[in-house]
Amino acid sequence: MSSDEESLFSDEMSDVVPLKREERVRLDKTGSRDSSLDQRREAAVVDKRDDGNILTEEGLAIAPLDPWYVLEYKRPGVQNGVFRKLKQGRYEADARLDLHRMTAKIARKELFDFIQESIRLGIRSVMVIHGKGESKAERERSSILKGCTDHWLRELDQVQAFHSAQPRHGGTGAVYVLLRKSEEQKRENREKYMKGRVPYDG
Per-residue pLDDT of the chain (202 residues; tens, 9 = 90+): 566 677 766 777 666 666 666 555 555 555 544 555 555 555 545 444 456 888 888 655 577 888 889 999 999 999 999 999 999 999 999 999 999 889 889 999 999 999 999 999 999 999 999 988 665 655 656 678 999 999 999 999 999 999 999 999 999 999 999 999 877 766 665 666 666 665 555 4
What is the Cα–Cα distance from 94 to 90, expressed in whole angstroms? Answer: 12
77-84: list long-range contacts, CB under 8 Å, 24+ apart. Answer: 78/160, 78/161, 78/178, 82/161, 82/178, 83/161, 83/163, 83/178
Q: What is the pTM of this model?
A: 0.66
Q: Is position 37 within any domain?
A: no
Q: Is position 113 within any domain?
A: yes
Q: What is the pLDDT of residue 57?
A: 80
Q: What is the pLDDT of residue 52?
A: 84
Q: Is position 64 within any domain?
A: no
Q: Is position 115 within any domain?
A: yes
Domain range spanning residue 121?
A: 72-181
Domains identified in the chain, total number: 1
Q: Is position 200 within any domain?
A: no
Q: Is position 165 within any domain?
A: yes
Pick the closest to residue 155 from 85, 48, 52 (CA basis): 52
CATH code, domain carrying 158: 3.30.1370.110
Which residues have C-beta within 8 Å of that of residue 159, sequence separation ≥ 6?
A: 73, 75, 115, 153, 177, 178, 179, 180
Helix (H) or strand (E) holding 189: helix 183-194
Q: What is the pLDDT of residue 54?
A: 81
Q: What is the pLDDT of residue 47?
A: 46
